[in-house]
Amino acid sequence: MIKFEEVSKTYPGGHLALSKVNFHVAPGEMVFLTGHSGAGKSTLLKLISLMERPSVGRVYINGHDLSRITRRDVAYVRRDIGMIFQNHQLLMDKTVFDNVALPLVIEGYSRKQIYARVHAALDRVGLLHKQNNPPATLSGGEQQRVGIARAVVNRPPIILADEPTGNLDPALSLEIIRLFEAFNKAGASVFIATHDLGLIARMHYRTLTLKGGQMINDGLTETPGVQA
Amino acid sequence: MSLLFKSRQSGAQQHQIGLLQKLLMFFTSHFRQCIASFGEIIRTPLASVMTIAVLGLSITLPGTLYVLVKNLNNISADTQQAAEISVFLKQQASDADIQQLIKRIRTWPEIESLTFVSADDALEEFRRLSGFGDAVDYLDSNPLPNVLLVYPSDKFGTPATAKTLLDKLIQEREVESGKLDIEWLERLHAILAIANELVTMIALLLFIAVILIVGNTIRLNIFNKRSEILVMKLVGATDSFIQRPFLYTGFWYGFLGGIMAWITIAILLWWMSSNIEDILALYNQDFDLAGMSFSTLMSMLGISIFMGLAGSAISVSRYVSQIEPR
């Protein structure tokens, strides 16, 4: 589903963020990506969502080489990827409903479909009763769930999450991860970047580890014992 | 449309929607954004009114000048054919001489009709119409000559033939001098041509300024919505989808600015009309100040909308693509 081949990324100014990274995430797999701050987790996610382009190497999604995607087509690729951010990236002057509906409005769904899907997504994350509130009135955990509802509302085959539990206490974090598990069971490939090692240890999922821009563990070969 | 997952369906493909309905949805989406942009303008009244006023007033100035120049053009066009020759008679010509003269030239085929205006009548008329009545009272004697107003027949009414007739009239013994009323029209024409060009130049300069002002306003709008644009790009909005609301905002600025210009010009013309008609009465013109024709009004609105859109398009094409999530 997601495949990196010898991917390196050097930022302007010479900072080497990723160095010769190789890995492959199978369709329907749920994977954690971990490493210290600055290890290259965010850069790796940005290469998948086309916010950055690799300096060397190739990234494939579903067998398609992302280097062939033109600037114009980036928007269409992002519609296949549900993205979740540590800082939620919600529109604070719109209601919860409008925030979740945004991807559907962009894709040109009809009003009826938008209502049905947004309600389903909000119901899934348990926030249907707050659909008319502005996000600012919600707690951090609730805002994160709104972000998740927005990411999954158009049922993307890939879900990317960048530190989704960053600001949450362990109980809330687990709740969020359980949501991802549910979407994974429904068929989506889930890719979660986090430095919350305690959380990962409890979950027994495949874990990729980055250190200084290099992939020191792809969760398959070196420590197979971690696998459940 | 999914680029990466061929089997995956998205919005417009759901339920195998027909072409007609796809088209309908395209327009629905445009309509939504159009109305939303209008709502945005209503919600920020002060900022919007300032931009709209700039547009409206910038069109009002050349618009009003255009109406005035056009009206002057109308006067000159009306008078072009009915050339009138004023023949000034010598002071020493007696009444009998004058009667003789009138009898003589009335038989000329070139002349349609003629009117005798005595010096006293002329002074009286001047006192009545010029507004210098009091000044006239200070004069010891009447400085005005007796005048014959000669109207050439249709055949001799063109400027050239009227000129020949004038030359012939001056040959008469009792005549001091003559004046073709067409001369002031020719001068007026020359002045009007300059005025027309001036209006065009002022309009062009103002229009360029307006496009830049609208462009700058939209640029600020874009920067104010930076975070919203970033989020929209993250969830897969194309540049053109993000640009559309700003273009509609430019459209509304232009539309409302055009309407404002209509109203302002109407008020200005109403305000000035009585004065203008007083002046024109001095030229013995039956004159109604012509307002703007339907086509002029529409092209004014069209220009206004074009300027709004152009200013918006300049900013949108430059700045929306620059805002990229990092």
Hey, are the CB atoms on A107 and B234 less than 8 Å from each other?
no
- Which of A159, A158, A176 has the alpha carbon at shortest distance from A167? A176
Residue A136 Cα distances to A82, A88, A132, A140, angstroms:
22, 11, 12, 9
Provide the 3-class DSSP secondary structure of residue B228.
helix
Is B101's pLDDT higher than 60? yes
Interface predicted TM-score (ipTM): 0.88
> Residue B152, Cβ neighbours under 10 Å: how many?
25
Q: Best of B10, B20, B32, B240 to disrupt the A interface by mutation (most A CBs within 10 Å)? A: B10
A79/B contact by beta carbon, under 8 A: yes
CA distance B325 to chain A (A): 6
* Rounded CA separation A212/A190 (Å): 24
pLDDT level of residue A184 (50, 70, 90 thresholds): very high
Is B309's pLDDT higher than 90? yes
Is pLDDT larger for residue B157 or for residue A183?
A183
Beta bridge partners of A56: A8
Give the pLDDT score at B83. Answer: 66
Hey, are the CB atoms on B2 and A91 less than 8 Å from each other?
no
Is pLDDT larger for residue A137 or for residue B173?
A137
A72/B contact by beta carbon, under 8 A: yes
CA distance A224 to chain B (A): 31
Query: Which amino acid would we find at residue A36?
Result: H
Q: What six digits make up the tokens of B214?
A: 């609208």
Give the pLDDT mean for B11-18. Answer: 51
Is B1's pLDDT higher than 60? no
What is the chain B residue with the closest CA to A70?
B3
Give the pLDDT score at A224. Answer: 47
Hey, are the CB atoms on B235 and A109 less than 8 Å from each other?
no
Which residues on chain A are in Cβ contact (under 8 Å) with B1?
76
Hey, are the CB atoms on A91 and B231 less than 8 Å from each other?
yes
Give the pLDDT score at B78. Answer: 59
What is the chain A residue with the closest CA to B323?
A51
Contact A182, A33 (CB under 8 A): no
Give the DSSP per-residue string, A148-161. Answer: HHHHHTT--SEEEE
Residue spans of beta strands (DSSP E) within chain B: 85-89, 111-117, 147-152, 175-180
A64/B contact by beta carbon, under 8 A: yes
* Rounded CA separation B193/B44 (Å): 43
A14-51: burial string, b at 16+ Cβ within 10 Å, e else: eeebbbebebebeeebbbbbbbeeebbbbbbbbbbbbb
CA distance A36 to chain B (A): 20
Cβ-Cβ contacts under 8 Å for B244 (sequence gap 6 or more): B30, B33
* Rounded CA separation B256/B287 (Å): 32
Contact B117, B149 (CB under 8 A): yes
Give the pLDDT score at A226. Answer: 44
Give the pLDDT mean for A179-200. Answer: 89
| End-to-end CA, chain A | 21
Give the pLDDT mean for A149-172. Answer: 89
Give the pLDDT mean for B135-149. Answer: 80
pLDDT digits (tens, 9 = 90+) for B16-47: 556 777 777 778 878 888 888 898 888 888 88
Q: What six digits make up the tokens of B278?
A: 């007083």
- How far does CA B3 lie from the centroid of its chain? 54
pLDDT digits (tens, 9 = 90+) for A33-59: 998 888 888 899 999 999 999 999 999
Hey, are the CB atoms on A157 and B239 less than 8 Å from each other?
no
**Percent helix, strand, coil in chain B (nearest 5)?**
70, 5, 20
Which residues on chain A are in Cβ contact (under 8 Å) with B14?
109, 113
Which of A32-41, A82-91, B47-56, B286-295 bottoms out in mean pLDDT, i.e. has the lowest? B286-295
Which of A56-65, A212-221, B207-216 bottoms out in mean pLDDT, i.e. has the lowest? A212-221
pLDDT level of residue B80 (50, 70, 90 thresholds): low
Which residues on chain B are in Cβ contact (under 8 Å) with A46?
326
A106/B contact by beta carbon, under 8 A: yes
Give the pLDDT mean for B65-72. Answer: 80
